[in-house]
Structure 1
Amino acid sequence: MNIALWIVTGLLAVVALAGGITKTFLPKEKLAAAHGGEWTAHAATGFVRTLGVLELLATAGLILPRALDIAPVLVPITALCWVALMIGAMITHGRLGQYALVVLNLGYLVLAAFIAWGRF
C-alpha cells in the first residue's frame, strides 16, 4: 500500500509541478491561447500566478513532509487542498464546455482523495 501511495503521490506531484510552472512563469496570453488555458483570458494575472504558486507549494507538500519525516500529516492535508482545487477546476472547465478536462480533473481529484485516505 505504501508503494502505491508513493507512486500516486509522485504522479500527482509531477502534475502539480507542471501546472505550477506554466501558470507561474508563462505569460497569461500564451496560457490563454493554449488548449485548456482559455479560462485565463477572463482571470486576473495575479490570480493565475497565485494558482501557479499554490501548485508549486502542493508539489512540495505532497512529497517533502513524508520524505523528510517532518510533519507528515501535511501530506493528506495538501491532498485535500488539491481536491478542493480540482473541484474549482472542474467547475471552471465545465462552464467552458471542456468536458474532457473535467474528466481529467476528476481523475486528479480521485488520486488526491486516495492519497488523503491512505496517509490519514
Structure 2
Amino acid sequence: MNLTLWIATGLLAAALLVSTSKMFVPRERIAATGPAAEWIMDFSPRSLRVIGALELAAVAGLILPAVLDVAPVLVPVTAICVAALFACAAAMRARRGERLTIAPDLVYLGLAVFVAWGRLGPWAFTG
C-alpha cells in the first residue's frame, strides 16, 4: 500500500507541476487550446501566477517532507490542501457548465483524499 500511496502522490505532483505552466504561458494562448481551457480567461494574470505558485508549493509539500524526512506530517496536510484545490476547480467547472471536464478534477480530488487518508492513518510516516 505504501507503493500505491507513493504512486498516487507522484501522479498528483506531476499533474500540479504541469499545471504550473499557466504561470509562464500567456492565458490567451492557453484559452485557444480548446473549450476545456476557456476558464483561464476568468482569472487575471496575477491570479494565475498566485495559483501556479501555490501549485508549485504543493508539489514540494507532497514530495520533499517525506523524502528528506523533515516534518513528514506536511505530506497529508498538503494532500488535504490539494483536495480543497481540486474541489474548488470542480465547483468552478460546474458553475461554468463544463460538466464533461469535471472528471479529471474529481479523479485528482480522489487521489488527494486517498493520499491524505493513507498518510494520516495506517501508512503514516512514523518511526
- Inter-partner Cα distance in structure 2 for 1:28 and 1:101: 18
Amino acid at match of 2:2: N
- Inter-partner Cα distance in structure 2 for 1:106 and 1:91: 10
Q: Which moved more, 1:68-77 or 1:98-107?
A: 98-107
Partner of 2:22 in structure 1? 23
Query: Would you say 1:51 and 2:16 are equivalent positions?
Result: no
TM-score, scaled to structure 2 = 0.89
Partner of 1:32 in structure 2? 31
TM-score, scaled to structure 1 = 0.93
Map 1:82-101 onto structure 2 (within 5 A): 82-101=82-101
Identity across the alignment (%): 48
Q: Which has the larger radius of gyration?
A: 2
Per-residue CA deviation, residues 6-60 of structure 1 (Å, 9 max, x unaligned), is: 011011110010001x111111111222232211112111111111111111111
Partner of 1:72 in structure 2? 72
- Give the secondary structure class of the aligned counterpart of 1:37: helix
Amino acid at match of 2:71: A
1:111 deviation in Å? 0.2
Q: Figure out how many residues of one structure are paired with residues of the other and give that number.
A: 119
- Inter-partner Cα distance in structure 1 for 2:92 and 2:17: 20
- Inter-partner Cα distance in structure 2 for 1:32 and 1:49: 16
Gaps of 5+ in 2: 121-127
Amino acid at match of 2:25: L
- Give the secondary structure class of the aligned counterpart of 1:72: coil
Gaps of 5+ in 1: none
Moved over 4 A (4+): none
Per-residue CA deviation, residues 63-103 of structure 1 (Å, 9 max, x unaligned), is: 11001100001100110001110111001111222222211
Partner of 1:110 in structure 2? 110
